[in-house]
Amino acid sequence: MNMRILSTIALFFCSQFYLLAQSSVGIGTVDITENQIIDQDRIEYLANAVLQELPTIEKDSINQLLIKELSFNLNKKHAFRHSFDRVKSLTILTSPDSTFRIFNWEISYVDGSNQYKCLIIKKLNNEYTLEVLQPLDSTFAREELVNQKLGVNNWLPALYYKIIPVKSRFQTFYTLLAWDGNDLLTNKKYIEVLWFDKTGKTIFGAPIFRNNLTVQSRVIFEFGGQNSMNLNFEKELERISFSHLAPPSSNLEGIYEYYGADVTFDAYDWNGNYWSLVQEVIPAWADPKGRTKSKVTNKRFGEEDASNPNEASKILKESEKQKKIADDKLKEEVEQLKAAP
């Protein structure tokens, strides 16, 4: 075991009494003075240590120290506005309307399993509140989970990478895009929803996803661990586009380790009250003909494409080719700049 890890573990034991005296892991209103310093370097040191390949006991100990350190620092009044620009080993997201911030990370273990941790600091009614999310303690079937209302004490663990605020008539919903390594066989991606009720309570899940005649509270994608899928927000079109997942054979339906992305894409389009499913869209990044520039067409391939079932694949391949040409040109320009006197 290298000296970096040994020193981190030693730091853990030396710090326990100090941190226990200074903070508690849970929910609390921030009321600490303005002039205390955020210890970014210590947070980054611990967050990076959690990413290292370590035995479970050591990794869990360092992770507990990281949670306590974050809880202590995020309970400082100016933490909500702090840049955290030196913390590179955590995912830190701020909602576009500055209502809340997410501090999120993954813990991977040598046996292939993983966990996710998340802290939220939110600003409601001029008060800052810190919440440490606790993972689900029950197992739901997939059909149940898509309609469950969850909260701070039964959170669906994942690693968030995008916050998309949308407004209905009476409520602001924060749509979250997330990734979950799941297990050795499959990965997952989620479209989750976070919102606050009239009392400021944090709630996950809302029945705002409409798929034809059905409505669900979150969207779950599961696919083979060796495969990948796109799940992105297209701001110019106000929609969430994603790869269509399918098994190679109808005999494998429901066995998600065989699922992968085909050449088609679907999307959820916000209509003012719901995210409505739209099938067979052309994502903006794969549209050399510019047919997704308008907000609403049929969001399907044009007539010239419909007559040729291979046209969708051609469009995507051409887009990838153009992207590679642009990347190669950029690399060439960089090399020329390096060689310049």
The pLDDT value given to residue 115: 94
Q: What percentage of residues in the chain have a pLDDT greater than 90?
A: 64
Summarised one tens digit per residue, pLDDT across range 56-76 is: 999 999 999 999 999 999 988
Domain limits, the chain: 1-132
pLDDT of residue 299: 37
Q: Which residue, chain included where needed, has tokens 């899928």?
A: 229
Q: Residue 113: which of 170, 19, 49, 182 has the closest Cα? A: 182
CB atoms within 10 A of CB 340: 6
Phi, psi (rounded to 5 degrees) for 309: -65, -15
As a whole number of angstroms, the distance between CA 10 and CA 91 comes to 26
Q: In this structure, are residues 32 and 65 in contact, taking their beta carbons and an 8 Å threshold?
A: no
Contact 261, 223 (CB under 8 A): yes
Q: Spell out, as residue ranges, where the chain has pLDDT lower than 50.
A: 1, 8, 12-25, 29-34, 293-309
Q: Which token pair is 98?
A: 């500055």
Residue 29's DSSP bridge partners are: 129
**Tokens representing residue 106 in the block:** 């993954």
State the Cα–Cα distance between residues 12 and 57, nearest whole angstrom.
12
- Strand pairing of 275-281 and 209-211? parallel
CA distance linking residue 11 with residue 24, whole number of Å: 19
Give the pLDDT score at 97: 95
